[in-house]
């Protein structure tokens, strides 16, 4: 990944996304990257647990990325849990304390702060689960599907 001074933002984003996705798999989730939600917002990672719970992970490549992007509040209606994922050198003190916190690099990650649980309404959960499954199947078949159609 390079040192913090030499690593480029897209490289940091890719490494943190990859590590966070690997962590999610280790935790029993099935992740998808770059998921456009029904409200038009794009989740960096959205994952489904074996129990049918959704988590959304917002990857932040650096302090500027965090400061200019305030859309993360708009993910709540589409997940049971929400967390930020950042590189080890990210200044964690600038992040809000409410969401979960994952530190990740290209090889894996660690949960530093568990994301608090919320509960999706049953009808929304069912619609999201079906849309998530359809998106995963379409991607597995080689189609570049990006939007959850609920």
- What are the domain boundaries of the chain? 9-119
For residues 111 and 102, the answer to whether their CB atoms sit within 8 Å is: yes
In angstroms, the Cα distances linking 17 to 43, 60, 65, 68, 105 are 11, 9, 14, 19, 8
Phi-psi region of 97 (alpha: psi -120 to 50; beta: other; left: phi over 0): alpha
Q: What is the pLDDT of residues 23-54, one digit of tens each?
A: 999 999 999 999 999 999 999 999 999 999 99
Residue 2 has pLDDT above 50, yes or no: no
Would you state the CATH architecture of domain 9-119? 3-Layer(aba) Sandwich (3.40)
Q: What is the pLDDT of residues 75-102, one digit of tens each?
A: 999 999 999 999 999 999 999 999 999 9
| Closest residue by Cα to residue 83 from 66, 104, 98, 64 | 98
User: Long-range contacts made by residues 93-97, C-beta under 8 angstroms, separation at least 24?
Assistant: 94/63, 94/66, 94/67, 95/60, 95/66
Take residue 144 and report the two structure tokens written for it. 């570049």
């Amino acid at each position: 990944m390079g040192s913090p001074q030499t690593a480029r933002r897209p490289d940091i984003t890719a490494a943190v996304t990859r590590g966070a996705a690997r962590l999610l798999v280790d935790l029993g989730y099935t992740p998808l990257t770059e998921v456009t939600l029904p409200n038009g917002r794009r989740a960096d990672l959205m994952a489904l647990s074996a129990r049918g719970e959704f988590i959304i992970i917002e990857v932040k490549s650096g302090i500027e990325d965090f400061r200019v992007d305030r859309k993360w509040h708009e993910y709540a209606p589409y997940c049971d849990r929400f967390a930020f994922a950042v590189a080890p050198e990210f200044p964690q003190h600038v992040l809000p304390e409410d969401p979960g916190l994952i530190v990740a690099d290209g090889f894996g990650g660690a949960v530093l702060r568990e994301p608090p649980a919320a509960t999706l309404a049953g009808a929304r959960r069912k619609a999201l689960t079906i849309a998530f499954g359809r998106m995963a199947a379409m991607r597995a078949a080689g189609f570049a599907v990006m939007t959850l159609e609920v």
